[in-house]
Amino acid sequence: MIKQEHPTILFRILSVLSPLSILILWEIMARVHLIDTRLLSSPSLIFQAFIPLLLSGELLYNTAVSVQRVIWGFLAGSIPGILLGISMGLSPLLRSALEPMIAATYPIPKLALMPLILLIFGLGETSKIFTIAIGVFYLVVINTMAGVLSIDKIYLDVAQNFGASRKNFYLSVALPGALPMIFAGLKLGMGMALILIVAAELSAAKAGVGWMIWRAYDMFAIEQMFIALITLSFLGYIFSLLLDMLENWVLPWKKQI
């Protein structure tokens, strides 16, 4: 037992120390001109650029715009994904009707659909939200269906034996039984949403973190680009934290294992 504790502390220190040392190394290499600061910048330069961007509210505004798009796109993709995934998991009829279609269209890179989505929905918010939604939808629907199909048959017998109605069966067996897999899908979907937001904001956006990256490219403002990238990684972290919290709240029975 005592032997085990030692490495745990070591691992913790290491996990803080290693990114820190990379930052320091980066800074040193920039100072002694081992790397080109015009392209790779340096932690101190990035921090200097960060303050005005934060104080002017520009960064927060762009972040808020992107967050809104991600949330709406995430909801628009995951809610139908969960509903359809459960229905497909429970109904062999629906499954055989829709599964081939989903399997065939799933491998299409969602980015390849961007031009078509722009033509259909125009340059407004809808096109960006829809791009994210469609990426999230596939991951959620596939995982939800797999989740329902993985529910042990014994629980279906129990529900039948105790006379569960269709609605009660959904709520007491199918949904909770599939929830662990649904959350796996939601987490993958959130990662996908962050990938797609940058791409969606590439074309025809006037704000957003993704837009900031492309504007920084146009203006050759490397620091701003790094700040946008860090913001994205921060957003990803926050969103996964929120999903973890939601998971712990919805799945108390998983937490206590």
| Residue from the set 18, 101, 161, 218 that interacts with another protein by CB under 8 A | 161
158 touches 98 (CB < 8 A) = no
Member of 155, 187, 191, 214 binding another protein (CB under 8 A): 155
* Interface pick for another protein out of 77, 85, 177, 189 (rule CB under 8 A): 177
Q: Of the ranges 25-33, 68-76, 138-146, 173-181, which one interacts with another protein (CB under 8 A)? A: 173-181
Q: How many residues bind another protein (CB under 8 A)?
A: 22
Is residue 251 close enough to count as binding another protein by CB under 8 A? yes
The verdict on 158 binding another protein (CB under 8 A) reads yes
Q: Which is nearer to another protein, 73 or 147 (CB)?
A: 147
> Of 7, 120, 157, 230, which lies in the binding site for another protein, with binding defined by CB under 8 A?
157
Among 15, 56, 165, 248, binds another protein (CB under 8 A): 165
Burial tier of 257 (Cβ tally within 10 Å: 0-12, 13-18, 19+): exposed
Q: In the numeric block, which tokens belong to residue 28?
A: 């040193």
Which residues have CB under 8 Å from 88's CB, separation 6+?
Answer: 94, 95, 98, 99, 141, 145, 148
Contacts for 153 with CB less than 8 Å, ≥ 6 apart: none
Task: Please answer whether residues 142 and 85 qualify as being in contact, where contact means their C-beta atoms are separated by less than 8 angstroms.
Answer: yes
Closer to another protein by Cβ: residue 107 or 252: 252
Token representation of residue 73:
């796109």
Instruction: Determine contact, residues 231/59, Cβ cutoff 8 Å.
Output: yes
Element (H, E) at 76: helix 58-90
The reply to whether 149 sits near another protein by the rule CB under 8 A is no
With a CB cutoff of 8 Å and minimum separation 6, the contacts of 83 are none
Residues of span 4-63 touching another protein by CB under 8 A: none
Summarize as ranges the residues that interact with another protein (CB under 8 A). 154-155, 157-165, 168, 172-173, 176-177, 179, 251-253, 256-257
